[in-house]
Amino acid sequence: MAAGLRSMGLLAPGAHARGMPLSGGVSSDIWHVVLPDGRHVCIKRALAKLKVAADWRAPIVRSRYEARWLARAHDAAPHSVPALLGQDEATGTLAMAWLPPEQHPIWKNRLHDGEADAAFAGEVGRGIARIHAYAAARPELAADFPTDSLFHDIRLEPYLIATARAHPDLAPALVGLAARTAATKLTLVHGDVSPKNILVGPDGPIFIDAECAWWGDPAFDLAFCLNHLLLKCLWTPPAAPDFLHCFEVLATAYLACVTWEAPATVEARAASLLPGLFLARVDGKSPVEYLTREEDKDRVRRVARALLSSPPDRLRTVRTAWGEEINA
């Protein structure tokens, strides 16, 4: 990391910085670093083997595309991402502005505490759509994100394809969703829009950790984020009705900002993809850490399997099915 800082021009030869490793995330080493001139920065170094139980590996070149995503997202919505300070491909590191956690709490932690702010959820939906719309209007950006194989390795295979192996009877549906997603090339996709990667900033949501950046299907980002609002209903049950309201507000806000295709078209793709991602967080390579009771996992399986067998074309259908299952 010190070599990366020197290569980026943030640390003079022979100078030393002090830092502290940060927790969270499975795919990178992340540090809060204080430079000799007193500046605070956040440094990330991509890992070749992710910190999960399964043997899950990914090329560290993904840091190049995360840096490119940050630059393009900053052009689209400057207050929605941390400022990119530099990127060094030789060491697989990138540097961003440090965002103090006391002023930028993680949305996941807020949700765990039962704080379901529907207005903030709406801002998340609008923020994602703003970046999608900006890039969709600039198709030349696609050349900067030749990451089809990377996205397959760190998203489609560990989520949909791995889940197909766990549910052979659903394999045609799950593999079909992966193939359709891979073939839909419309805009710049973050790939990991999860509450753990969204900060509650003073001016609204801030999106981080775009290691899965890809030129592809915007429905993936929408479904990926909504998936977590469904799962959080089992993590913090008293807030489940509020989480489902956030689901509706986020989806409505996002769809109201869709400009690159008919809103109903992207909604249909998101709605049919969502049950696959839902099931993947129980039986794929990256199960959510907070679902430990088998009865909770079975509830996810029951709803997801039914929806995969009869694919919905509206997000409300998914929300209603889950609400009925958990009596919310």
CB hemisphere CA count around 223 (13 angstroms): 29
- Is 60 exceeded by the pLDDT of residue 80? yes
- Convert the pLDDT of each residue in 21-68 to its tens digit: 987 665 778 899 999 999 999 999 887 665 555 555 566 677 889 999
Chain-centroid distance of CA 99 in Å reads 19
- Convert the pLDDT of each residue in 174-205 to its tens digit: 999 999 999 999 999 999 999 999 999 999 99
Cβ burial, residue 271 (10 Å; 0-12/13-18/19+): buried
Mean pLDDT of the chain: 94
Query: Lowest mean pLDDT: which of 52-61, 74-83, 84-93, 317-326?
Result: 52-61
Would you state the pLDDT for residue 311?
98
Would you state the pLDDT for residue 25?
61
- Convert the pLDDT of each residue in 222-276 to its tens digit: 999 999 999 999 999 999 999 999 999 999 999 999 999 999 999 999 999 999 9
- Is 60 exceeded by the pLDDT of residue 303? yes
Long-range CB contacts (within 8 A, 24+) of 308-311: 308/170, 308/173, 308/174, 308/275, 308/276, 308/279, 309/170, 309/173, 311/173, 311/271, 311/272, 311/275
- pTM of the predicted structure, to 2 decimals: 0.94
Domains annotated for the chain, with CATH where assigned, are 2-97 (3.30.200.20), 107-326 (3.90.1200.10)
- Convert the pLDDT of each residue in 121-167 to its tens digit: 999 999 999 999 999 999 999 999 999 999 999 999 999 999 999 99
d(CA 293, CA 95): 39
Would you state the pLDDT for residue 111?
97
Q: How far is CA 14 from CA 6, 34, 90, 183, in A?
A: 9, 15, 19, 49
Would you state the pLDDT for residue 328?
87
d(CA 96, CA 184): 30
d(CA 23, CA 62): 20
- Is 70 exceeded by the pLDDT of residue 19? yes
Structure tokens, 170 = 């659903």
- Convert the pLDDT of each residue in 108-131 to its tens digit: 999 999 999 999 999 999 999 999
